[in-house]
Amino acid sequence: MQPERPISPSSLSVKDLRWQILWDKETCTLCGKCTAVCPVNAIELGVFRKRLIEPPVGFLEPPGNITKSYYGVRQKTDPAYACVGCAMCNMVCPNNAIAPMRADEVDKLRFHLDRGGQPRRRGGRRNVPGVLLDRLKFIRISMLTDPALDAGRHEFELRTLLGRVLPPEENLQHIREHGWIPPVREIYPLVIGGMSFGALSPNMWEGLQMGVAYLNEELGMPVRMSTGEGGCPPRLLRSRFLKYVILQIASGYFGWDEILHAIPEMKEDPCAIEIKYGQGAKPGDGGLLMWYKVNRLIAAIRGVPAGVSLPSPPTHQTQYSIEESVAKMIQSMSMAWGFRVPVYPKISGTSTALAVLNNLTRNPYAAGLAIDGEDGGTGAAYNVSMNHMGHPIASNIRDAYLTLVKLGMQNQLPLFAGGGVGKTGNLAANAAALIMLGASGIQTGKYIMQAAAGCLGSESDRCNICNIGLCPKGITAQDPRLYRRLNVDDVAQRVVDVFLSFDTELKKIVAPLGRSTSLPIGMSDALGVDDYRTAERLSIKYVV
């Protein structure tokens, strides 16, 4: 910009941006790889002019100067092309000559990301670094009278149940009288949460499925994965691997035409049906697949035209009231599979979660409740929803569990917790804490994206462009040029690594607590926290 030119309100300097590109002229080879790889075209070839002053040594010659130009990389300051800090430029640079740096103060960019009156939308996470779950400690260490168990050598059975479990008296009566016993699945307590085919690239999805299949068939770990709201590839629907899949239905009903038509040809029942009423990242808002990502394949699986944005409504529109909706949806889904498949709703963390729960306790077909806390991630949402809406998972799950205890139903209606589990890398510790607060199992998505596919997102607004199909890692992109970067087999391998290491860590937590033969659901005496009010709120011990 020339100094004498007028500036517009959204004229920013590099300093005003969230991410600033440091480029080193000395080491740059001008290969152009960085500008080619940049997903948002934040950098371009720059021609720089530089004046060199050459003062003479003697008195005779007059001072002179020459003007030279050189080539390099220039960062754009137009908000539409702002660097997202993904550091792909750094990854491809042969000489490490370029890297994004986080601004040292709150950026000005954020005030200009609503061009055309369109508020910022993005994928990713909430961008709040800490999580309460990290502060919960496991304090009941077995000593002396009950020796700690050996995580490496003792037998462990850390499975959980997904499905309505009848109370013992009723269960035995139904067995005696050959009555209907609701379907119950024995599954691994860590479930890969709903990330749709569409939100994820085909390679990512396939890699996850392969990893899950390997865990089940080769390692005997009954790991399950939810499809998210985006349907399910037809071949998977008709394969024996369907039993490892939790089919999700949500308010857009995407892909359900295909699923329903495939029922007669299914070799196996799916693990369960998850009815999504809400998700932690954008509570009270429906799913959102932006048009960039709706290519022909996605459109075909979802049963929609290509190239249009697919916002799901915030609620299921086909019913009159939510209570009715829940009851009817659960019932009709159960009926579709002859009452052989557990059906449960997933809601976002909310202060009204107990109302939903109370409703479910009276519905004999409800197979559980999944609650997704505010820290849940997403493929696309309005910035404001992600950052400001929702309820933390810890107190939500605790209240729900204690409500079930009051009703004596804590073993009947399993609770699944999600949202921010493993946010700072402590997947097993966070999961164990939630289980001891009362969750029967854990759903995780972002952690899997990070660990199994190398997602670049962080809790400081890095990358987060999952919504526009430009994922530089090919995780959430629908463009083959991008997603071919992700090797399916490598993803599968990483999924297996993640689950195996999670399993070891979980054992390393429960064994010293003297637990091994059953998942310590609701074992709240093992938990402590260094904040009095938190301890009180969660009915756990206050320790300092």
Instruction: Return residues touching ligand SF4 (CB under 6 A).
Output: 19, 21, 37-38, 40, 42-43, 83-89, 100, 123-124, 449, 455-457, 463-466, 471-473, 475-476
CB of 357 to other proteins, least distance (A): 15
Closer of 361 and 424 to ligand SF4 (Cβ): 424
Q: Which among ligand SF4, other proteins, none contacts residue 233 (Cβ within 5 to 8 A by kind)?
A: none
**Eight-state DSSP code of residue 94:** T
Size of interface with other proteins, in residues (CB under 8 A)? 42
**Per CB under 8 A, 224 contacts other proteins:** no
Closer of 419 and 438 to other proteins (Cβ): 438
Helix residue ranges per DSSP H, 130-288: 168-176, 202-217, 234-237, 256-262
DSSP characters for 335-374?
A: HHTTT-S-EEEEEE--TTHHHHHHHHHT-TTB--EEEE-T
Give the 3-state secondary structure of residue 201: coil
Q: Which among ligand SF4, other proteins, none contacts residue 86 (Cβ within 5 to 8 A by kind)?
A: ligand SF4
At residue 330, what is the residue type?
I
Give the range of 77-85, 147-155, 191-199, 370-378 binding other proteins by CB under 8 A: 147-155
Residues 19-48 that bind other proteins (CB under 8 A): none
Closer of 99 and 521 to ligand SF4 (Cβ): 99
d(CA 369, CA 383): 27
Site string for other proteins, 409-428 (x = CB under 8 A): xxx-----------------
**Per CB under 8 A, 49 contacts other proteins:** no
Give the range of 8-16, 108-116, 333-341, 520-528 binding other proteins by CB under 8 A: 520-528
Strand segments, DSSP code E, in 18-136 are 19-23, 43-54, 64-75, 98-102, 121-124
- Residues contacting residue 406 through CB under 8 Å, at least 6 positions apart: none
Closer of 173 and 317 to other proteins (Cβ): 173
Backbone angles phi, psi at 381, to 5 degrees: -165, 165
Which candidate, 182, 224, 229, places its Cα nearest to that of 368?
Answer: 182
Closer of 124 and 231 to ligand SF4 (Cβ): 124
Give the range of 123-131, 171-179, 230-238, 252-260 binding other proteins by CB under 8 A: 171-179
Please identify which residue in 154, 267, 340, 362 interacts with other proteins, judged by CB under 8 A.
154
Closer of 188 and 483 to ligand SF4 (Cβ): 483
Q: Which among ligand SF4, other proteins, none contacts residue 298 (Cβ within 5 to 8 A by kind)?
A: none
Please identify which residue in 12, 272, 521, 529 interacts with other proteins, judged by CB under 8 A.
521
d(CA 239, CA 216): 15
d(CA 276, CA 377): 15
At residue 194, what is the residue type?
G
Helices vs. strands in the chain: H and E counts, helices first: 16, 21
Which candidate, 436, 431, 422, 449, places its Cα nearest to that of 513?
Answer: 436
Burial of 196 (0-12, 13-18, 19+ CB in 10 A): buried
Closer of 5 and 406 to other proteins (Cβ): 406
CB 498 within 8 A of CB 448: yes
CB of 21 to ligand SF4, least distance (A): 5
Which candidate, 396, 428, 390, 433, places its Cα nearest to that of 415?
Answer: 396
**For residue 376, how many C-alpha atoms fall within 13 Å in the half-sphere facing its CB?**
37
C-alpha distance from residue 289 to each of 113, 273, 383 (Å)? 20, 21, 15
Closer of 30 and 141 to other proteins (Cβ): 141
CB of 518 to ligand SF4, least distance (A): 36
CB 268 within 8 A of CB 243: yes
**Per CB under 8 A, 315 contacts other proteins:** no
| Alpha-carbon torsion (327, 330, 336, 341), positive or negative | negative
Closer of 14 and 535 to ligand SF4 (Cβ): 14
CB of 375 to ligand SF4, least distance (A): 15
Closer of 294 and 513 to other proteins (Cβ): 513
Which candidate, 424, 403, 406, places its Cα nearest to that of 415?
Answer: 403
**Per CB under 8 A, 165 contacts other proteins:** yes
CB of 158 to other proteins, least distance (A): 12
CB of 222 to other proteins, least distance (A): 10
Show the tokens assigned to 543. Answer: 């320790």
**Per CB under 8 A, 407 contacts other proteins:** yes
Interface positions with other proteins (CB under 8 A): 140, 142, 145-147, 149, 154-155, 157, 159, 161, 165-169, 171-172, 175-176, 181, 184, 186, 405-411, 513-518, 520-525
